[in-house]
Structure 1
């Protein structure tokens, strides 16, 4: 009886701690979003999203952050494309061309787990060294190199989990019918298609919100970049520079920029959630 009472007591305490943790996390989320809405909504206007900064923008004069919005989309889109082109074949190689439980496969997975956990500023320093060696100046290309290095592990590890969830029977059936490894790989990609888009969206979301990785490599410009060798503004960097200003008007615009970035991330999260539900229904 004492053991039973002790277990019940432990379960009640565990439930209390879980509820408190949930309340703290949910409350923190609402506090952050509420602060951004309260401070940024009064400064959000059509001018903010439709115009690039004009002379004196960072001193409180007219203009917007269109250059940062476009720059963020360029940067996140190109880096996610490169990460997908590199990451998807690596994941298929780990599952179709070598045994998933072999030493090489486990070593590679550990390697990508380590890369997944490395801070973005480290990727920025590495990419900056590569740029110096190749003679590349701070530009959109430099940011794409940095964020591509950052998002490749995300694509690889997310797809690895998805490919691991494929029933063994499906793999065996394709092999028994004489399918080549490449044909089996195409079948696996078709099976995890919604999850594949989820992995890509996760990488895109990480790319569009990063600031530490691009601070050294992308530069900053009030113009919308037309070529890869031009410096580019991003929303996180625009928020950072505006918050650094002592002028209240500019600080308010920083929160409006943060609201725009939050809305973009929210759209990505909703799309990811929708595709995750679709993946679950597909499995059933």
Structure 2
């Protein structure tokens, strides 16, 4: 009787396993088909209008009315502001996360408060960061520029990068850290020479997530970065970004 009951449970588990496997497979196929449909629609609609001059020239006379020119200024500007903001956010984030996971106790009130604050910052709309940056610009009598946009966008990326790095570093086994301590390494040596090497793939992933958020964000740089039809050559000059270029093109 016990053997029969065990066999029944085993069959039920196998049936549930196969059912959920097929359900997840169907979900993955549906998501992939939707993505493929979106890409094919974009390509079908855009290929007739795509030209090499679109990415090699800046906007010309009457560009926003459908005349000559391209979006080179927006492409270069997006790379400049996003790479600069991501680098700034990374420089601020990495030491803070090392301190959070190395020098503070695992479940201390301070560490949990910091994580809660980062989660709250992550949920704040980027337009709020843009308004905050614009308020600072008015306070210090600054103009819209590449530097102001980089700082504002770095504030947007900072909680994203921080939480991603934090979760990655927390996955490092405690036994590995204890082994390095037993060999005479201090906390800083353990963090920089052992932990960071272990989490390097996750670190790259966190940077790419922040980079992707920065490339597609328009609200945070709307008031702080300005816009220009020319290539930006100084940190104090306005800069064009691809999301704003699309926004202005649709409104023209």
TM-score where L is the length of structure 2: 0.87
Q: Which residue of 1 aligns with 2:178?
A: 172
Instruction: Find out whether 1:212 has 2:223 as its counterpart.
Output: no
1:26 shift after superposition = 3.1
Residue 8 to residue 196, structure 1, CA distance change in 2 (3 Å): closer
Q: 1:240 to 1:31 in 2, by over 3 A?
A: farther
**Matches for 1:39-118 after TM superposition, within 5 Å:** 39-118=45-124
SS of equivalent residue, structure 2 residue 129: helix
What do residues 34-76 of structure 1 show as CA deviations (whole Å, max 9, x unaligned)? 2221222222221011111111111222111110000000000
Deviates more, 1:190-199 or 1:8-17: 8-17
User: Is 1:189 paired with 2:183?
Assistant: no
The one of 190, 212, 231 aligned to 2:238: 231
| Cross-structure match for 1:244 | 251
| Per-residue deviation, 1:32 | 2.5
SS in 2 for 1:196: helix
Deviates more, 1:175-184 or 1:70-79: 175-184
1:141-180 aligned at under 5 Å gives the runs 141-180=147-186
Q: Is structure 2 residue 30 aligned with structure 1 residue 31?
A: no
Q: What's the C-alpha RMSD, in Å, of the aligned pairs?
A: 2.4
User: 1:15 & 1:194 partners in 2: Cα distance?
Assistant: 28
CA distance in 2, matches of 1:29, 1:237: 24
| 1:249-268 correspondence to structure 2 within 5 Å | none
- Structure 1 residue matching 2:222: 3-state secondary structure: coil
Where has structure 1 moved over 6 Å in runs of 4 or more? 6-17
Structure 2 distance, partners of 1:50, 1:87, is 35
Aligned length: 245
Q: Give the C-alpha shift of residue 95 in structure 1.
A: 0.6
| Residue 13 of structure 1: how far off its partner (Å) | 8.4
Any gaps of 5 or more consecutive residues in structure 2?
1-8
Give the counterpart of 1:129 among 127, 135, 138. 135
1:73-120 C-alpha deviation (Å, 9 max, x unpaired): 000000000000001111101111101211111111111111112111
Give the CA deviation at 1:194.
Answer: 2.2
Aligned to 2:5: none
For normalisation by structure 1, the TM-score amounts to 0.78
Give the distance between the partners of 2:33 and 2:132, measured in 1 at CA.
Answer: 37
Change in CA separation of 1:79 and 1:167 when aligned onto 2, cut-off 3 Å? same
How far did 1:163 drift?
0.6
